[in-house]
Amino acid sequence: MGTRRSFLASGGVTAFAAQRAIGANERIRLGIIGPGARGQELLKDALAQPNVELGYATDIYTARLREVETIVPGVKTAFDYRRLLEEKNIDAVLIATPQHLHCEHFTATLDAGKHCYQEKTMAFTVAHAKRMREARRRQPKLTVQIGHQSCSFGQARDAAAFLARNSMGKVTMIEANMYRNTPHGKPQWSRPVKGDMTAENILWKSFLGEAPNVPFDANRYINWRFFWDYSGGNVYENMCHQLSFWYKLMNLKIPAAVTMRGGVYLWKDGREVPDTMNVTMEHSEEILFSWNSGFGNDHLGFSEAVLGTDATLFHNGRTVRLIPQKVNQPNGVEEVGATPSERGAHMKNFLDSIRGGQETNCPFDVGFRVSIACRMAVDSYRLGKTVKWDAVKEETYS
């Protein structure tokens, strides 16, 4: 492994690199950009699948590279992700970097001819989403999986089967919740600043990317989820997952208007993103999608209810239930989906799609629509007004 002092800027990656066809039983060689806590989870899911190996790992923090070497001893490592992309024998790349860097890493990966697993939320801004779409259009044959893993859960298949019956009647509302709590003195997401988190061991300018240029700050690095420059807060961490599930199954368009309210009501620890929030999304399909979330009480937990005139489709993260509205289905009987969810199913789907050439369970278009809906929510909160979407110009306005 290199050291911070040994880092040298790369000359870049040649665009449109030729991609290698991978046979059904052939080994897939992976690279990873950002093997932090989430990145290591993804990596372990990938390495649990047959005929997969890690060939290269890159990160801007020396400790992360040491950690990944404990998972795969002897793996090649570097500070500069472009070193990985120059390796011709790397087939696919896992990207698990902070949200503001997704566009940079995704577009470079596709332009290098590598298949890509992009952790959620796919794009940080509308402009980033469009740039990523152009990269996708340049490389339409590459496999792309967006990291909304619920799209590969058994509940997704159950919900799809229930929806296919057309037994819901007219759906006008989706109510979703995501509540958590933590012990006193242990704020949600807060990570300690360690002694080795110094300018010597972290490539600060690489972390900043296109974000405003500010002096090195270890707290901003390790607790990037707290700050608007790098994070969309809980909208980008959790609302995105609940949107993706139904955006995929019901093919919902980017919302026509989004309003978000809330605040930092609980954790006064310097974070900018709210810990208590409500988001209302108006869709052209005449469906109102409402999402409520907070970090101070977990009684309401996680749930989604799709409300139709004839039935309710209820999802609690473990099962999907079809519950008839007796006023319109007096003889209807509640049904519960039973399709199991396989551990690591989303990663398995990505690798199987590389070998088989089929579309992934969470393709680029789902990530694109979800990203823009999430950006609209964040912009609404920060502006203090409703944000609308011009579907012709593909621009937001308020």
The residue ranges of every structural domain in the chain are 28-148, 152-209+221-344+363-397
Topology (CATH level 3) of domain 28-148: Rossmann fold (3.40.50)
Predicted local distance difference test score (pLDDT) of residue 23: 73
CA–CA separation, 161 vs 159, rounded Å? 5
Please enumerate in sequence order all residues whose Cβ is within 8 A of that of 131, keeping only pairs 6 or more positions apart, or say none.
Answer: 103, 107
Query: How far, CA to CA in Å, does 149 sit from each of 189, 278, 293?
Result: 20, 23, 20
Predicted local distance difference test score (pLDDT) of residue 22: 77
pLDDT tens sequence for the chain (398 residues): 444 434 333 334 444 444 666 776 789 999 999 999 999 999 999 999 999 999 999 999 999 999 999 999 999 999 999 999 999 999 999 999 999 999 999 999 999 999 999 999 999 999 999 999 999 999 999 999 999 999 999 999 999 999 999 999 999 999 999 999 999 999 999 999 999 999 999 999 999 999 999 999 999 999 999 999 999 999 999 999 999 999 999 999 999 999 999 999 999 999 999 999 999 999 999 999 999 999 999 999 999 999 999 999 999 999 999 999 999 999 999 999 999 999 999 999 999 999 999 999 999 999 999 999 999 999 999 999 999 999 999 999 99
Predicted local distance difference test score (pLDDT) of residue 17: 46
Topology (CATH level 3) of domain 152-209+221-344+363-397: Dihydrodipicolinate Reductase; domain 2 (3.30.360)
E strand intervals along 148-198: 171-179
Is the CB of residue 280 less than 8 Å from the CB of residue 387? no
Identify the H or E element spanning 354.
helix 345-356
pTM, 2 dp: 0.94
Strand partners, 54: 30
